[in-house]
Amino acid sequence: MKKYSIETTVGIFIVAGLICVGYMTVKLGNVSLFGEKTYPLKARFTSVAGLRVGSAVEVFGIQVGSVTSLTIDQERQMGVVGMKIDKGTVIYDDASAIIKTAGLIGDKYVKVDPGGSGEVLKPGGAITQTSVPADIEDLIGKYAFGDVKKPPAQGEEQPPAK
């Protein structure tokens, strides 16, 4: 009789372990079993340097999605950022997007101004008004190698343009 009780206990632990592994796989893999809680959007940028798949998408400083893909639009010669946005977040067709840096040398993320005067973007729609901020590394490089002109001191005249 003891033999069967030990086997039953071991079987219960194995089943419980498999259920835990399955639950963690679904949670960590961001797999949705009961319908999607997000919708896809795209935005085209002249440069997506530093942005990665999985980077945050923020509206009003609140994370409302993530970057799902980075591709190239060969026809327009631009980088295309695929995003998934939480269903409760409304983005309009007059929205704008910019790639920002979290902190001085932090990770890049997409900041979206949702607009509000146009029509609501449908799933798969595109944000057309985009901009990329100045690259801090380029600015530091220009300053270090003397490409940046110093502004004239007060009272000094501006040298003539060449």
Write the DSSP string, the chain. -HHHHHHHHHHHHHHHHHHHHHHHHHHHTT--SS--SEEEEEEEES--TT--TT-EEEETTEEEEEEEEEEEETTTTEEEEEEEEETT---BTT-EEEEEESSSS--EEEEEE---SSPBPPTT-EE-EEE-PPPHHHHHHHHHTT-SPPPPPTTPPPPPP-
| pTM exceeding the 0.85 threshold for the entire prediction | no
Backbone angles phi, psi at 57, to 5 degrees: -120, 125
CB 52 within 8 A of CB 69: no
In the prediction, which pLDDT does 161 show? 55
Distance of CA 38 to the CA centre of its chain: 14
In the prediction, which pLDDT does 31 show? 61
CB 57 within 8 A of CB 42: no
In the prediction, which pLDDT does 140 show? 78
* Domains of the chain by residue range: 1-31, 38-135
In the prediction, which pLDDT does 102 show? 83
Give the span between the Cα atoms of 149 and 112, in whole angstroms. 33
Q: Show the low-confidence residues of the chain (pLDDT under 70).
A: 1-3, 29-35, 135-136, 147-162
In the prediction, which pLDDT does 133 show? 76
Q: To which residue do tokens 């893999």 refer? A: 29
CB 115 within 8 A of CB 94: yes
pLDDT tens per residue, range 19-30: 998 888 877 766
In the prediction, which pLDDT does 33 show? 60
